[in-house]
Amino acid sequence: MNYDDFHVSVLLTEVIDYLDPEEGDIVYDGTLGGAGHTVEIIKAIAPTGKVIGVDLNSQTLSTATSKLELFAKNVLLVNDNFANIKNILLKLNIKKINKILLDLGLSSFLIDRSGRGFSYLRDERLDMRFSPDTWPDAHEVINKYQEKRLKEIFLKYGEERFSGRIAANIIKYREAKSIETTGDLVNIVRQSIPGNYGKYRKGNPAKRVFQAIRMEVNRELESISKVIDDGFEVLEKGGRMVIISYHSLEDKLVKTRFRELEGICTCPPGLPVCRCGVVKKAEILTRRAIFPSVEEQEKNPRSKSARLRAIEKIL
């Protein structure tokens, strides 16, 4: 296997430009996935650099291990949640790193081949866990959560306009029997959305609900927030953090955290001197989110919602 055998990852050129990996760097790839970004990073940091490749899904990690066999001297592979960056580095006896990359997209393997019910296009058992060792799964959420909580999840994580109707219909369905598969859930969502509105909605009507459940099951926003805060602490001065997100909630969180690290004065307007004590710790490298080119979106439709943001640590 050689470099050309790896698929081209989302925003690959832009990732390398903003991450700016150099020979000898230690790079934390918190979302290893198909390892497309990883191989390009290895090209830049070899022969002495290391990539710490992290993935919570053991099947994905196993596939990546096979792909990266020829580059083993440059890679340290870890089966864990990327949010546990401090503990991961402690176990590896590494105190500081130079670069951090997070591609928050759901891997093609999980969607197409995992059998864990991530896709609304397949009729599979409700699960949606990145790792089978975590709890609850999607089946537990859909069949045990109260109506109010379901409504909150669909609205908060999926920005679903009809969250109340969907939650109510889930409860009604549960009175007769449990909701076992993704197909069951898709049918409930379809019946909950008014026909005159559904025709204007792009894509599968269950898309937002599936996103919301997945985020609840895997505590995704909490993990992102933790890895940004803890990851920034272990970055060397001059180190960079690059994050690719795929929906507005993720992007808003990343943008907010990056602005806080850059330093935002909270003093009332008109004060001649800042008194809030804000400290500028980082420089934002992307004033606006970077999106895939039209050409990339045409080649890879799944990249359409991707947006990249980057910072550099200055303190």
Residue 133 has pLDDT above 90, yes or no: no
User: What is the value of pTM for the model shown?
Assistant: 0.90
**Same-domain status, 81 and 28:** yes
How high is the mean pLDDT of the chain?
91
In this prediction, residue 265 carries a pLDDT of: 76
pLDDT band at 8 (very low <50, low <70, confident <90, very high): low
In the structure encoding, which two tokens stand for residue 127, read together? 């699960």
Q: Which of 187, 218, 249 is the last residue of a domain?
A: 218
CA–CA gap between residue 73 and residue 226 (Å, rounded): 29
**Same-domain status, 192 and 59:** no
CA–CA gap between residue 138 and residue 132 (Å, rounded): 12
Q: Which of 193, 218, 243 is the last residue of a domain?
A: 218
Residue 137 has pLDDT above 80, yes or no: yes
Tell me the residue range of the domain where 256 lies.
3-109+220-313
CA–CA gap between residue 209 and residue 195 (Å, rounded): 17
pLDDT band at 198 (very low <50, low <70, confident <90, very high): low
Q: Which of 161, 190, 218 is the last residue of a domain?
A: 218
SS3 assignment for 169-224: HHHHHHCCCCCCEHHHHHHHHHHHCCHHHHCCCCCCCCHHHHHHHHHHHHCHHHHH
Q: In one letter, which amino acid is 141?
A: V
- Strands 307-313 and 235-245, bridge-based pairing: antiparallel
**Same-domain status, 182 and 237:** no
**Same-domain status, 258 and 277:** yes
Residues 6+ apart with CB under 8 A from 287: none
Considering only CA atoms, which of 172, 46, 153, 56 is closest in space to residue 110? 56
**Same-domain status, 120 and 78:** no
* Residue 238: CATH number of its domain: 3.40.50.150
CA–CA gap between residue 222 and residue 224 (Å, rounded): 6
* Residue 172: CATH number of its domain: 1.10.150.170
**Same-domain status, 173 and 295:** no
Residue 202 has pLDDT above 50, yes or no: yes
Q: What value does the mean pLDDT take over residues 5-11?
A: 68
**Same-domain status, 105 and 242:** yes
Lowest-confidence segment of 22-26, 200-204, 246-250 by average pLDDT: 200-204
Domain count, the chain: 2
**Same-domain status, 185 and 149:** yes
Residue 5 has pLDDT above 70, yes or no: no
**Same-domain status, 16 and 46:** yes
In this prediction, residue 3 carries a pLDDT of: 38
Q: In one letter, which amino acid is 127?
A: D
Asked whether the beta carbons of 32 and 9 are under 8 A apart, the reply is no
Residue 6 has pLDDT above 50, yes or no: no
Q: What value does the mean pLDDT take over residues 243-267?
A: 92
**Same-domain status, 69 and 130:** no
Q: How many CA atoms lie within 13 A of 61 on its CB side?
A: 20
**Same-domain status, 96 and 232:** yes
Residue bearing tokens 């330093």: 263
**Same-domain status, 9 and 78:** yes
Asked whether the beta carbons of 13 and 40 are under 8 A apart, the reply is no
In this prediction, residue 64 carries a pLDDT of: 85
